[in-house]
């Protein structure tokens, strides 16, 4: 059976306060008391009834944190009866002070002020209802100062506790935000790596597949042409392996990667020639004077052309021709890949991870991407990248 430590501690505290209050009640100024019952100053001699009232006044301390205001009211009622009957409690209101402190340290400002007001009213009522004593104004001021000091100590603890909770909550929020940023950064990095791997593998494997199919068809009738196709497959495979080594080398931390420059718009003629060799008639049209492009935009535009031509070769059908149009404007780069193939009737766009990756690349640099079939047949992939002044 699990013990509630808070309740156990409060019960022990109630016992300690009760023992101290009874001792002070019995020993308080007994030398001034005659045997007649009431002292000259109105203090009644301790008796079992008074001890019982003292114990009843201390009992609510056991629930001071669970019901602090109710416990304070219960304790003050008993203390008021003690004062009204003429008993002395030694140090007046020891349990009441503990309960007032508990209200101030465990409840809000409104309830804490209410507890202080109730304590002051209970003291005033007890002083007015009890027998006349030789009590000066300074004594009442001291009691008021003690009450306010105990209340202030409780409020100070409450504020410090709230401040620590706020600091812990703020630290927890910052930790959650940092963890969310880390997860977002990792997800973005995974997406970037996935885009690069897809662009490299999908393009080269598609080219190799087409060349292998062509080599198989002419293997018996034209061995020389088949040999050329196999040579092109070997060359394409080596290029794919080289680019994959570059990507994987970046990910490795135990070895120094041998990095080369990323492809860009200057490599479009070689890409177009590769597609022609793979069996896709491709034309490259460049309009305007090519300005220096940011590295990210340069790579994104190249990957868009690469993905567009790969899709045309894989999906457009036999006899398809593709046209790559690059238009350099003062503040914009317009890249378009269109083919006159069979298109995708009934489908708004050709599905695949490549186009998803291209969409992410274009959005990363603030571009606008349009993908879909052309009205007269064929398919188009087009992106417009905004360029800043001087780019």
pLDDT per residue of the chain (391 residues) written in tens, 0 to 9: 445 678 888 888 888 888 888 887 777 644 444 444 444 455 677 778 888 888 888 888 888 888 888 888 888 888 888 777 777 654 457 888 888 888 898 888 888 888 888 888 887 777 676 555 545 677 778 878 888 888 998 899 889 988 998 999 899 998 888 888 888 877 776 777 677 676 667 677 777 877 788 788 887 788 888 888 788 788 778 777 777 776 666 555 554 544 556 788 998 999 898 888 888 889 999 998 888 888 888 888 998 998 888 888 877 667 788 999 999 988 899 999 999 876 544 444 444 566 777 888 888 888 999 998 888 888 999 999 998 764 5
283 half-sphere exposure, CB direction, 13 A CA radius: 9
Residue with tokens 């301790």: 46
User: What's the pLDDT score for residue 382?
Assistant: 93
Question: Could you give the angle at which helices 137-218 and 94-106 cross, rounded to 10 degrees?
Answer: 30
309 neighbors 276 (Cβ within 8 angstroms): no
pTM over 0.85: no
* Tokens linked to 156: 């100070």
Give the C-alpha distances (Å, rounded to integers) separating 319 from 140, 229, 345.
108, 18, 18
Of 339, 327, 318, 313, nearest to 383 by C-alpha is: 327
Q: Which CATH number fits domain 265-391: 3.20.20.140, 3.40.50.720, 3.30.565.10, 1.20.1740.10?
A: 3.30.565.10
The per-residue pLDDT for 384 is: 93
CA distance 38 to 46: 10
The CA angle 91-97-102, to the nearest 5 degrees, is: 160
The dihedral region occupied by 129, where left means phi > 0, alpha psi between -120 and 50, and beta the remainder, is alpha
**How high is the pLDDT of residue 260?**
55
Q: Are the C-beta atoms of 366 and 390 separated by less than 8 Å?
A: no
Please report, for the chain, the start and end positions of each structural domain, with discontinuous segments joined by +: 5-135, 265-391
């Amino acid at each position: 059976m699990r013990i509630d430590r808070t309740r156990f501690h409060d019960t022990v505290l109630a016992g300690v306060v009760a023992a101290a209050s009874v001792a002070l009640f019995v020993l308080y100024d007994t030398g001034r008391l005659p045997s007649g019952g009431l002292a000259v100053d109105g203090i009644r001699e301790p008796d079992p009834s008074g001890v019982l009232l003292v114990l009843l006044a201390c009992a609510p301390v056991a629930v001071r944190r669970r019901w602090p205001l109710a416990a304070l009211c219960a304790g003050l009622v008993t203390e008021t009866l003690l004062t009204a009957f003429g008993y002395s409690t030694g140090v007046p209101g020891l349990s009441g002070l503990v309960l007032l402190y508990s209200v101030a340290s465990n409840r809000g400002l409104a309830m804490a002020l209410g507890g202080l007001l109730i304590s002051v009213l209970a003291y005033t009522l007890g002083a007015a209802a009890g027998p006349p004593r030789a009590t000066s104004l300074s004594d009442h001021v001291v009691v008021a100062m003690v009450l306010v000091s105990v209340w202030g100590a409780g409020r100070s603890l409450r504020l410090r506790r709230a401040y620590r909770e706020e600091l812990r909550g703020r630290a927890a929020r910052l930790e959650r935000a940092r963890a969310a940023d880390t997860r977002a950064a990792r997800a973005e990095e995974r997406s970037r790596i996935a885009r690069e791997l897809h662009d490299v593998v999908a393009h080269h494997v598609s080219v190799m597949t087409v060349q292998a199919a062509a080599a198989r068809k002419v293997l018996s009738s034209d061995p020389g042409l088949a040999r050329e196709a196999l040579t092109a497959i070997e060359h394409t495979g080596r290029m794919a392996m080289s680019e994959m080594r570059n990507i994987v080398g970046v990910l490795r931390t135990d070895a120094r990667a041998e990095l080369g420059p990323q492809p860009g718009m200057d490599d479009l003629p070689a890409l177009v020639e590769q597609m022609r060799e793979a069996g896709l008639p491709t034309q490259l049209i460049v309009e305007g004077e090519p300005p220096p492009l940011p590295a990210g935009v340069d790579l994104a535009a190249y990957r868009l052309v690469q993905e567009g031509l790969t899709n045309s070769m894989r999906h457009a059908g036999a006899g398809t021709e593709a046209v790559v149009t690059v238009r350099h404007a003062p503040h914009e780069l317009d890249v378009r890949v269109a083919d006159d193939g069979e298109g995708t009737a009934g489908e708004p766009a050709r599905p695949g991870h490549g186009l998803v990756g291209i969409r992410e690349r274009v959005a990363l640099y603030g571009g606008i991407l349009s993908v879909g079939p052309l009205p007269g047949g064929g398919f188009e992939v087009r992106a417009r990248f905004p360029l800043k002044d001087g780019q």
